[in-house]
Amino acid sequence: MKLPELIVFVVIDPKTQADQEKLGRGLREMMAEDPTLGVNTDTRTGHTIIRGTGELHLEVIVDRLTREFNVAATIGKPQVAYRETIRAKAEHDYTHKKQTRGSGQYARTKLTVEPNPGKAFEFDNVIKGGSVPKGFIPAVEQGVRESLEGGILAGYPMVDIKVELIDGAYHEVDSSEIAFKICSSICFKEACRKAEPVLLEPVMRVEVVVPEEYMGTVNGDLSSRRGRLEGTEVRGATRLIKAMVPLSEMFGYAAELRSRTEGRASYTMHFARYEPLSGGPDTDNEDSGAPVVAPRTPAPTGNQSHVALPKPDDRG
């Protein structure tokens, strides 16, 4: 079963130790019921981050936490779950050397990275001749996989990348799995910096049913939200407007649409795809551990805390 993309997240911080325990228990139960709920703890700030398929989805989750599990917490505002990728092919050769009083650390990896649209992540070992022993290859791949999670532009996960290990070297005494893991992680990030990295944003397929007299108003509002109008259909006395709009521009749209059309319009919105974000990150929000990168994207608030979460915490 293909699960929908988790494109929105909120930061939630319990107010007391008792609330931390109730939050962990509530999230475990809801994750067992809902495969589209993702939860993780930011390792840098300690914040608990809840990920979902949309603004309403997260509102329901937060409501259940406070109503059914009596969790008292500070809740951040919804934010967009961006992604990162690359647009060109590049390679980097890196040698990791570290000498301590005992044995040292030594590893060398040479990696190529290239775009891999629609195929998530692929890793290939194309070395011939044993310049890197087979026993260290899994450590090389693990180092690359862990680096994918943190990105290089704004800390978002990297997707649609193919990586090849094309060369390397080892030392009979000082080479180890941890040395190759560190080496490949650094090598991968440096290669990606050369490969035209770009931030990706979720774009939504929006359909608005509106009386004809409000068409101009609705079209203008969608365009102001960086929307691309894709057509109009006649439905009796109403019109169906189709558009592609970045998710970051759609927060609060329901209230705005009611206001502009005197409550006579309705809309539906579904995830379409990720597209390159025009521009780049504006600020790095140290309070949330997540950057604010687009207009209309609110910043979460709250203090730092840690909640022990269940193992299946990486759904998106």
How many structural domains are present in the chain?
3
Closest Cα to residue 168, out of 219, 203, 130, 199? 130
> Based on the domain organization, do 126 and 162 belong to the same domain?
yes
Range in 11-20, 21-30, 99-108, 191-200 the model is least confident about: 99-108
Work out the mean pLDDT of the chain and round it to a whole number. Answer: 86
Closest Cα to residue 272, out of 204, 200, 201? 204
> Based on the domain organization, do 209 and 114 belong to the same domain?
no
CA dihedral 107, 148, 110, 115 (to 10 degrees): 170
CATH number of the domain that residue 134 is part of? 3.30.230.10
> Based on the domain organization, do 50 and 95 belong to the same domain?
no
For the segment 99-123, the average pLDDT, to the nearest whole number, is 89
pLDDT of residue 119: 86
> Based on the domain organization, do 165 and 254 belong to the same domain?
no
Range in 60-74, 175-189, 239-253, 302-316 the model is least confident about: 302-316
Render pLDDT for 267-307 as a digit per residue (tens, 0 to 9): 999 999 999 996 444 434 333 334 334 333 333 333 333 33
CATH number of the domain that residue 266 is part of? 3.30.70.240
Q: Count the helices and strands in the chain (H runs, E runs).
A: 6, 14
Strands (E) located in the chain = 8-14, 38-41, 48-52, 73-75, 79-80, 83-86, 90-98, 105-115, 121-125, 161-169, 197-211, 228-235, 238-246, 266-276
pLDDT of residue 283: 36
CATH number of the domain that residue 72 is part of? 3.30.70.870
pLDDT of residue 102: 66
Give the pTM.
0.79
Confidence of residue 52 (pLDDT cuts 50, 70, 90): very high
Of 135, 170, 195, the position where a domain reaches its end is 195
pLDDT of residue 312: 35
**What does the alpha-carbon distance between residue 226 and residue 281 come to, in Å, rounded to a whole number?**
17
> Based on the domain organization, do 105 and 185 belong to the same domain?
yes
> Based on the domain organization, do 231 and 294 belong to the same domain?
no
- Structure-model confidence comparison of residues 98 and 207, the more confident one: 207
**What does the alpha-carbon distance between residue 11 and residue 289 come to, in Å, rounded to a whole number?**
10
For the segment 119-125, the average pLDDT, to the nearest whole number, is 93
Cα distances (angstroms) measured from residue 67 to each of 33, 34, 61, 252: 17, 18, 10, 24
Of 195, 213, 244, the position where a domain reaches its end is 195
Render pLDDT for 141-166 as a digit per residue (tens, 0 to 9): 999 999 998 889 998 999 999 999 99
pLDDT of residue 101: 67
DSSP H helices in 172-261 = 177-194, 215-224, 253-261
Q: Are strands 161-169 and 73-75 parallel, antiparallel or unpaired?
A: unpaired
pLDDT of residue 295: 36
Place of tokens 């997707």: 159
Structural domain of residue 143, as residue ranges?
Answer: 88-195
CB 207 within 8 A of CB 242: yes
pLDDT of residue 290: 40
Confidence of residue 103 (pLDDT cuts 50, 70, 90): confident
For the segment 90-110, the average pLDDT, to the nearest whole number, is 89
> Based on the domain organization, do 92 and 36 belong to the same domain?
no
Render pLDDT for 212-225 as a digit per residue (tens, 0 to 9): 999 999 999 999 99
Place of tokens 């937060």: 62
